[in-house]
Structure 1
Amino acid sequence: MASGNPDSAIASLKNAEKSGCTHAMVTFPGNLKPETEEEVYAHYRKVIDSTSLPILLYGRGVPSLRRFHPSGIPVNVFDRLADHPNVVGMKMTHAMPAGLAYELCERLSDRILMGPVNLDLVPILGQHYKNIQWSSQWISDSVQSPDRPYGVELFDLVRKGRMQEAMKVYWQMLPLIDLIYEIQARLLGADEPHPWQHMKYYQWVMGGNGGLLPLGNNESVPVLTSESRQRIRDTCKKVGITADRADEEFMVGRTAYARGVRASELTAKPHYV
């Protein structure tokens, strides 16, 4: 929830509850220019207090908050919010410096679950902090399939303290981790949209339904190219994940493809070449 004011964020949370959502992630709106950390805290409290949903804090730098912390993440505010009964975790976004990840875990991990998106940090953080148990959805979709659940295995072994076994899994999945940086992470700017079609393609290659997202052509979303698709396929094969279905199935979605729908029937192919 990143609406421009607390009331719109609260309305979004109410809709999320009605829709059956089980958790919500909250961030600070980039259009607000607070003068004090107390204003930032008050904004978060108004939003969080309005719902019974478990809340995840979004550890993403906001330029207007750099006056309170060089990273743009309101660390002192998050330290206070970690005591709130509704706050259960924090997403530590991509790409996060190791020093910042250390500071956040040092301040917060005794009370809430910490979710590093940067999987290179998982063995290090998990060795020292007890609540390193999860990562974000699009990263999870980029490193594992139902038959090769590398990400699940890595977190499970780290959580159990079986570090030698965890590192064996880490080295198995490293080509996929490296590819995240080479293809997806470089497309993530502070004020730019995520590479949504890339994420959907990964989800399909790993066994999901796929289907091009109906993104408007005027949106500044990175284009999913044939070169990127081939690199994703090749890397998956390198780590034992089968990726041999036709790209046309991805374009229309697996279930639609099984019904006989083909790419020639699509009226648009946004951000896909």
Structure 2
Amino acid sequence: MESAPLHAAPPTPPVHVAIIMDGNGRWAKARGLPRTAGHKRGAEAVRRTVEAAREMGVSYLTLYAFSSENWKRPTGEVTDLMGLLRLYLRNEVANLHKNGIRLRVIGDRSRLSRDINALIDESEAKTANNTALTLVLALSYGGRQEITDAARRLACDVAMERLDPDSIDEDALAARLYTADIPDPDLLIRTSGEKRISNFLLWQSAYAEFVFTDVLWPDFDRTHLEDAIRDFHGRERRYGNAPG
């Protein structure tokens, strides 16, 4: 008698997974629903993905939640997205904390409202000592802006004679990025079939492996995350070195 087939074991996760969550609007349009419905379903996908990443042993999960360019969207849509962000920070942080997940936010917080900044501060402080997973939300974030800000900090340090310009190297600039204490992503995933990184983690993704999937973000789940990680493990990461 033949034995039942064994299920494939979940793949060993990389340390840091970053995701460009794309396709909420297209998901809603395909169903004749308003874009807000897509964003709400996208929030459910965030919950699933965070839980799956923690269970799989991912150490860092960075989600591109709202780009610096997203401020150009219609006012009503921006207002709805900020409302969803408030709900997430008010309702989900307790669950993150219970599951040992640390929350970090990167980006230009000066453009966020005072109450959202207060919620971020409270959430980061509450979860600061958690170690099961670090969830990084990129909010009002742009990669070029981040590098520009880092360069400005370098210039200020030189002007104040705290730094010798001859000592400026890659490490000096990286230490002034929003992600200074976070390892660079090993794997960057983009949903919805688009094949670009849209100003996301430009410096940090220099040697990341990219996986592009046609799945729209509201449909993304643990299976898709596992598939992307299996794809990642099929790559040979050479960091610019010649193949062996």
TM-score category, normalised to shorter length: 0.3 to 0.5
Greater strand share, structure number: 2
Higher RCO, Cα 8 Å, sep 6+: 2
- For normalisation by structure 1, the TM-score amounts to 0.30
> TM-score, normalization: structure 2?
0.33
